[in-house]
A and B are shown apart, each in its own frame.
Chain A
Amino acid sequence: MKQSSNRAFLSGNAAIARGAWEAGVRFASAYPGTPSTEILEYCGTYNEIDAQWAVNEKTAMETVIGACYGGARSLCAQKHVGLNVAADPFFTVGYTGVNAGLVIVSADDPGMHSSQNEQDNRYYAMMAKIPMFEPANSQEAKDMTKAAMKMSEEYDTPVMLRMTTRTSHSEGIVSLGERETAPDREFVRDMAKYCVLPNNARRLHAKVEERLKKVAEFGNNCEFNRIEAGDTRIGIISSGISYSHAREIFPKASYLKLGLTFPIPTELIKKFAESVETLIVIEENEPFIETAVRVLGIKCIGKNRLPVCGELNPDIIHESLKEFVDKAMPQTTTMPDVEIPVRPPVLCPGCPHRGIFFMLRKLDCTVTGDIGCYSLGAFAPHNAMHTIVCMGASITNSLGIEKAMKDKIHGKLVAVLGESTFMHSGITGLIDTVYNKGRHVTMILDNSITAMTGHQENPASGRTLKGEPAKVLDFAAICHACGVTNVHAVDPFDLKTVEATLKTALADSEPSVIIARRPCFLLKSYKPRVRLVSINRDKCVKCGICWKLGCPAIEVNQQDGKTQINQALCVHCGLCAAVCRPGAITQAKEEA
């Protein structure tokens, strides 16, 4: 942690971890997911916090619920779609309330920088009737984590902290405090509270409604929801990062700055609306606050002008609300009239997934994909993925496709997912496939780490988040236990075996699994034996087969159109030598 005296420059995620530590949190759990991942990584840097990676968001949520019942202040964090996975226990803990405090972080991804949708999870707070804070910057992220923990214990409720990509990943100066020591709370049997049987749940629901009224009263009179008086011609209601952007465009306006956005502070909104001439609600994605304002019968400007899709930024706010802004849009530098090639992320040199996609394409397979680095297999030049829906969906999507297409697809269908995603929610799909007589091939790409989110340990890694040794899951045994008879193991760099195994598996009349195992090339602990790859460019016939690997180290020479190898990037995995038809690219027999 970077620190100078009592201040530090922290990301929103680091600030949440700091806030959790200061608030006396003893236990934290999560499944990695951008933009929330670093929260648990930072939690893990504090000795006093027992931080762990769960196999999915639901198990993480259930574990922190158990921990808070058991008397430890706890926190879990997930990306917005992760809360879909954890929604079941999330709704119920809203009813039971807590013993020690419980803070649940949802990090949404407006703009979908690394997500499949931009759902606005503020509605989850509303639907589960769980109070919600929305920090606007790193300092608030820390302060509100602590406030949420306090509220959780005072009102006997879990509290949600709603972040977005910009608040999670932006950094700012944060003043630091000391750790509060929280005495462990005793866990006493209280059937009416902790067992949500229908009879109890009915009483608990009534309790939730009473609790919300009290929190609403707090929300109308707390430091987190405040009127910042300014020019009364324009009044702005805003929350989260939108507030920070709005301040740049309307520095003199009056603000109702909301930090506790559920339950919505209606009295404060009424008071503020009366004090200003034109009321504007500035928020990202859905009209969450705006709807509440309109329900009060108050007229306002909002999503009739500001976009629902994508992130907001100062430029978009200025452009959308031009006539209320007393300055012109900044003059920009004219972009040169040159075509600028895009630079999307690519599979790294040495990535063990690369050869798999090459082969799936070669065998003209229909591939249901999943969430992870291997999602990049959908892009050119791999073009080897037909569907991507959500974590774990590859296997069950395949099952559904074969139910619909039957003989038209048999012998072609492959579900591809990583080992972390398989553990997250693929195992259930595999059982489903066996039970319901599917026969597609499942490929588990086991690179020993949750890679896309930046290398988090999982049960395939042999290490925990805290770096302690852990048991390694036996994937073949699990697949066998699910009822799969034919479980194959291959080295993804051994293309010949990959091809032969795929052909055998596709021809099988039963479901089969191929486990392609090789560690992520970026793993620091991975020390592959290197046999040097070189090219004899005289032999290159420009057939282009090596370009289909999509390797950043393989380049087309801009003058003669032949292949060249970028030695600064090449890690000598040897795939290009394996596919090169004229034998221009070769790999040494001996190790370097």
Chain B
Amino acid sequence: MTKNILLCGVGGQGTLLASNLLAECAMEAGFDVKKSEIHGMAQRGGSVVSHVRFGERICSPIIRKGECDILLAFEELEALRWTEYLKPGGLVISNAQNILPMSVSAGNARYPQNITETLAKISAEVTSVDAIGKARELGNQKCLNVVLLGVLARHVDEIKPEIWPEMIKKMVPQRLQELNLKAFKTGWELA
């Protein structure tokens, strides 16, 4: 068994913390884990992606096109950008949020319309969730990443449900634990 999960989003959305948590949970569950992402530009509003792979033995840290089991998109346009990695019939979990790239906000390109419908046509399963709305309800939109992790957790049977909150407690600073545990639960129940 090898599980391939691709997390994509926009710099500043917290994809890196989410992928760290996911990787630590998979490690805690006893798997070999590899993760790959490119740093350096992440703070500057660029497109960001993390590959997380776990199983008995993982060699390459990179997911092959067509072998991604779950695409966890923090932003709709980014979901579209990375669909080629999805295996036929793979699952897309998408945060219902649009962040305009500079080319669009400057009026030089158009943001694609009806992305959820487009995705539904090409992949077997699409779960669109208002994670950003839920994060704002919780009082801090920065916990968007952990809300999405909660949604993801429901679809990752290989990791026991109790591991996730355990690792959140272990990895998130004390003062943010309560918020993040709530965020995780909210995501879990959204799924």
Contact = CB atoms under 8 A, between A and B. Distances in A.
Interface of A: 2, 4, 7, 9, 34-35, 38, 113-114, 137, 165-166, 169-173, 241, 244-245, 247-248, 313-315, 318, 329-336, 338-348, 373, 376, 380-381, 452-454, 522, 544, 547, 550, 552, 554-556, 558, 561, 566, 568
Nearest to A453: B40
A479 B113 CA distance: 53
7 contacts: A4-B28, A172-B61, A314-B62, A315-B64, A333-B122, A341-B111, A454-B39
Interface residues of B, number: 62
Interface stretch (B99-107, B145-153, B174-182): B99-107
Given A244-B61, A348-B45, A341 B36 contact: no
A481 B171 CA distance: 50
Contacts of A113: 38, 40-41
A335 B40 contact: no
B38 A165 contact: yes
Given A9-B24, A172-B61, A348-B45, A166 B36 contact: yes
A467 B122 CA distance: 51
Interface stretch (B75-83, B154-162, B183-191): B75-83
A113 B10 CA distance: 16
A525 B38 CA distance: 26
A453 B43 CA distance: 10
Nearest to A337: B118
B35 A170 contact: yes
A563 to B, nearest CB: 10
Given A4-B28, A170-B36, A347 B80 contact: no
A34 B44 contact: no
A556 B105 contact: yes
Contacts of A373: 44
A482 to B, nearest CB: 31
Q: Is the interface of A mostly helix, strand, loop or mixed?
A: loop
A114 to B, nearest CB: 4
Identify the interface centre among B36, B37, B101, B112: most chain A CB within 10 Å of its CB: B36
A381 B101 CA distance: 13
A314 B36 contact: no
A345 B61 contact: no
- Tell me the interface secondary structure of chain B in the complex: mixed
Given A170-B61, A248-B59, A330-B65, A552 B102 contact: yes
Nearest to B89: A333
Interface in B17-48: 20, 23-24, 27-28, 32-41, 43-47
Nearest to A168: B39
A247 B32 CA distance: 15
Contacts of B80: 336, 338, 340
Smallest CB-CB A-B distances: 5 pairs: A330-B66, A345-B44, A332-B66, A345-B46, A34-B40
A259 B84 CA distance: 34
Nearest to B80: A340
A550 B86 CA distance: 33
B11 interface: yes
A348 B44 contact: yes
A118 B122 CA distance: 36
A465 B27 CA distance: 31
Contacts of A245: 59-60, 62
Contacts of B108: 380
A35 B101 contact: no
B67 interface: yes
Contacts of B119: 336
Given A318-B64, A336-B121, A346-B102, 11 more contacts: A2-B171, A172-B33, A172-B58, A245-B59, A331-B87, A335-B122, A340-B80, A376-B44, A381-B106, A556-B107, A566-B100
Given A245-B60, A552-B102, A4 B27 contact: yes
Contact of A172 (B34, B41, B78, B141): B34
A9 B109 contact: no
Given A169-B38, A333-B123, A558-B110, A342 B62 contact: no
